[in-house]
Structure 1
Amino acid sequence: MKQSTALKIATGVAAAAIGGFFVYSRATRPPVINPAVPEPAKPVELTRYLGKWFELARHENRFQKGLDAVTADYALEPDGRIRIANAGRQGGAQGEYSYAEGHAIVADEATNAKLKVSFFGPLYTGDYWVLDHGDDYEWSIVGEPGGRYCWLLHRDPRPAPAVVEALLKRVEALGYDRWALRITRQG
């Protein structure tokens, strides 16, 4: 009888913790900056997408709050998953180093433009859509179907201002509020 009561209490505590995490994660999501996220503009050749990217801008979010000098490095694992290594520095290029590693799987094999990404194990995954990219994979605009997240990536940490402006206009053409994006200082 006591074991049954302990099991009920443990189950209740676990349910409350999971529920609390769910409420917290829902409450701390950024606002929607694109109520009508488009489908990806073109397919993605994964081998060309792999490698190092520099973040030019993003819609600020809790897991990157205050980070600058942000990079994302994608590599194909032997099991077919994509390893993601994100790094940045808190408050500027000389700030405290931050690193997160995750994995992605292709969610849409017809285009390879939609991935499922996880930094917290298989129980929590997020959508990662390559909404558009340069023909030579020199730039990429990434979002997700909820319209709360947007990243502007480039192979060069400091492309010419005219290039950045053209990419911000493309972000706008995809339906995002470009003024809601935070420009990332690359140092």
Structure 2
Amino acid sequence: MKYLIYVASLVFLFSCAQNKELATANKVDLEKYAGTWYEIARLPNKFETNLTCVTANYSLMEDGKVRVLNKGMDSETKRWETAEGWAKIPNSDYPGQLKVTFFWPFAGDYYIMNLGENYEYAMIGSPSRDYFWILSRDKTMDKTLYNDLIQLASEKGFDTGKVKIVDQTCVEKE
């Protein structure tokens, strides 16, 4: 429940954030983007406090939106937290600029700034530069690629000195 409250807060903050121009991917194929992504690193934020083993699962919906299911383990309580929402591309001229909603009617900016040629990694942020994630299809990422993405994020105005690597060593019990 705590996670859902923080997600709602995030969406509100996103909607109130001052938009600063932020370049995004020129082409995004949502079918290729669908599936499970592992959170490799992030800027600290309230709604993910203490969360490890964070994943985001995206799936296409019949109405053209994308179902979003975020999941992470609270490192203190050892309990899994989830948040479900949806995303959409509001302007097809800017396919890397999505709006995500976890608590309607509030929607936050989800900007795909960089995307691997084979959709093997993604770099996500917000125009406010307050939110930032590096995602991968694998639980680990090549250090050179990681460092390149951190450098790119720094060039785009993100405070990369605060970026934290996310522990992905949890073992999920079914």
TM-score, structure 2 normalization: 0.81
- The Cα of 1:181 is off from its aligned counterpart by 1.0
**64, 73, 88: which is aligned to 1:89?**
73
* SS in structure 1 of the partner of residue 139 of structure 2: coil
Whether the 8 Å CA contact 2:129–2:157 is kept in 1: the answer is no
Q: Deviations over 1:120-151 (max 9, x none)?
A: 12x11111110111111111111111111111
Q: Which residue of 2 aligns with 1:108?
A: 91
Aligned partner letter, 2:32: R
Residues 70 and 186 in structure 1, CA contact (< 8 A), matched pair in contact too: yes
- Does 1:159 find its partner at 2:141? yes
Match of 1:42 in 2: 26
- The size of the alignment, in residue pairs, is 157
Tell me if the contact between 1:29 and 1:148 (Cα under 8 Å) persists in the aligned partners.
Answer: no
Specify the alignment match of 1:171 in structure 2.
153
Q: Unaligned regions of 5+ residues in structure 1, if any?
A: 1-24
1:37 Cα deviation after fit:
5.0
Q: Tell which deviates more after alignment, 94-103 or 164-173.
A: 164-173
Q: Counterpart in 1 of 2:107? A: 125
Gaps of 5+ in 2: 1-8, 170-174
Larger radius of gyration: 1
| Partner amino acid, structure 2, of 1:132 | N
Q: Over aligned residues, Cα RMSD in angstroms?
A: 2.4
Separation in structure 2 between the aligned mates of residue 39 and residue 155 of structure 1, nearest angstrom = 23
Distance 2:20 2:160 in 1: 14
SS at match of 1:142: strand
TM-score between the two structures when normalised by the length of structure 1: 0.76
Cα deviation 1:147-178 (Å, max 9, x = unaligned)? 11111111111123333222222222322121
SS in 2 for 1:57: strand
The CA deviation at 1:41 is 4.0
One-letter amino acid of the counterpart of residue 128, structure 2: G
In 2, are the aligned partners of 1:117 and 1:127 still within 8 Å (CA)?
yes
Q: Cα offset for 1:36? A: 5.2
* 1:119 match: secondary structure: strand
The separation in 2 between residues aligned to 1:129 and 1:107, in whole angstroms, is 12
**Alpha-carbon distance in structure 2 between the residues aligned to 1:43 and 1:143:** 16
Moved more, 145-154 or 159-168: 159-168
The residue type equivalent to 2:145 in the other structure is V
